[in-house]
A = this chain, B = another copy of it.
Amino acid sequence: MFYLVIDILGTIAFAISGVLVALDKKLDPFGVFIVAFVTAVGGGTLRDLLLGNTPVTWLLQPIYLYTILITVVLAIIFRKQLKYLRTSLFMFDTIGIGLYTLAGVEKGLDANLIPVMCVVIGTITACFGGVIRDILCNEIPVIFRKEVYATACIIGAASYFLLLKLPIKPTYIQVICILVVITVRLLAVKFKIALPTIYHSVAIDETKE
């Protein structure tokens, strides 16, 4: 129950972030819905496809579809008020990537992947909804440019496997994993930490045949 509530809150936050990007691109309501849907379920869908868990999760659990549908309708109606919810949305989103990371890690374990691949799957689950959103909206994915988003997921997922070696209850490990993701992201945003862009002197047309 606790999980479901957080999961739905994460889905709502991701869907809203999709609505905001889609509105900015002047899409019609159907386009807004698709972008919101893909943002919310895209990472989990890619995870399920890579692992071979089909039919993918959201086809079997209609609550995601309904949640996103209601979220999109409300977000469109109250689009002017959304800007006053910046902090709440950011917190939902941050909690969301924490939970999505954990969910991905555990799906990876279910598929008998080695720890490093579980970390990869956890990060994909949390981050690739946003990547697909940006591709659909014809943007270079934002997480490739200025977010520590993925770094937070990687550190959180790695902490899961470090903790597994200690005598700690599974439930505590899960909670700590989520909290690490959240903490890293909050600290990064607070102190404006971002990975630097790499200066490059290699023009692409010089190095290609």
Residues in A lying within 8 Å of B, measured CB to CB: 17, 20-32, 34-35, 45, 49-52, 54-56, 59-60, 62, 65, 76, 79-80, 82-83, 86, 89-90, 111, 113-114, 116-117, 120-121, 131, 135-141, 143-146, 150-151, 189, 194-198, 200-204, 206-209
Contact = CB atoms under 8 A, between A and B. Distances in A.
Contacts of A145: 26-28, 31
Contact of A59 (B51, B146, B194): B51
Given A114-B62, A136-B140, A136-B141, A207 B89 contact: yes
Copies held by the complex = 3
7 contacts: A23-B200, A24-B202, A32-B198, A50-B56, A79-B202, A131-B136, A138-B139
Contacts of A90: 209
A121 to B, nearest CB: 7
Given A135-B136, A189-B209, A208-B20, A65 B28 contact: no
Contacts of A80: 201-202
Contacts of A17: 208
Nearest to A86: B207
A135 B137 contact: no
Contacts of A111: 55, 59
Contact of A117 (B59, B114, B143): B59
Nearest to A51: B55
A170 B27 CA distance: 37
Contact of A82 (B26, B55, B116, B207): B207
A55 B108 CA distance: 10
Nearest to A154: B30
